[in-house]
Structure 1
Amino acid sequence: MIEIELKGYANDRIFEKVRGRFEFMRKEMHEDIYYQHPCRDFSKTDEALRIRIKRFNGHFEAFLTYKGPKLDDMSKTRKEIEVPISDVDAYSDLLTSLGFEKVLTIVKVREKYYVEKGVTITLDEVEGLGKFIEIEKLVKEEKDIKNEVKKLRGILEDLGVERFERRSYLELLLEKLKKNGSQT
């Protein structure tokens, strides 16, 4: 599957518009542990590998996720492979035993909203970065990307999003840490 995703900077006004217009699905706590490949630099190949731990409504889910390079110039659209996992520690040990190194852990609170069939909006409060809004849809064919990006961007603009961001939270936080002279 191809994940079409657009992200923008948000504020309280945008959060309230989403809460008033769309159907609330759930609130989640995310802990995303990112890994670096031992033989290629994901920051140069525009790829990502992470373990995501999700907590919501007393439940726990975890996934190993690979994200391929972005497929267009306007969005964060990319191939995504996500595999549910039950033992986070065992998968983390497996990755580090194979030479993968932990890069950084991103923590966020996410509110998820239903827009229409196949389309969701999330409101994210990311530790160290602030508030963001994301809209996403899964498609099967690359030929559908351009039209869907335009449609999704229109929804975000209608909500008041003026500034879009193609970089991942990992890229943004690493850049901020580097700028502030902090170590990862």
Structure 2
Amino acid sequence: MGGIQAALILALRIARDRNVQWPLTLMAVLSAVLLAAGVLRHYWDIYVHRTVRGISFLFVGIDAAGDLFSLVSIVFQARLDVLGTVIYGTELMLWIGVFACGGYYNLLPWVTKKLNRRKVGVQDTAANPGPTLSSVGGGGTPVALHSLPSSTSVFRTPSAEVESLRQRNTATGGSEWNDCNGA
């Protein structure tokens, strides 16, 4: 891969020195298409599972901010670079869409569930002064949004696969996990 990268750099420099612009434009468009394809994979995952999982919103925010600042820098150049504007704008819109899906599929149900629990807790307290949902278990219980395996990275990691194997192992009584570990 390093050799391919070095060869492309040298070839693009030769083309630039000869005032041939299409190879540089082709590489810019190709990189933008591959970046967009990487983000679109998350849209497929969101569509299939109806949740945003395995995505670091911190990374998405930093990447989207980079796209936004790049767009701002293009606007303040002496000459507007249309290709750069399209590339950074497309990437920014895709990341904003991931944020919107996260708000719709993850944050909104969580807030709704939290508000419903408070409403039920207030009604239970008025009718029955016994323990409320928030006091069971010594001061509150952790909230799990979904039972799907997840990772904290924007990329697929083996942690999701291990978690899936553990869940299947729990369902079958433990024999698969012990066989995989050599125990």
Same-fold call, TM cutoff 0.5: no
Shorter-chain TM-score: which interval? Answer: under 0.3
User: Which protein has the bigger strand share?
Assistant: 1
Point out the structure with max Rg over C-alpha: 2
Higher relative contact order by CA 8 Å / sep ≥ 6: 1 or 2?
1
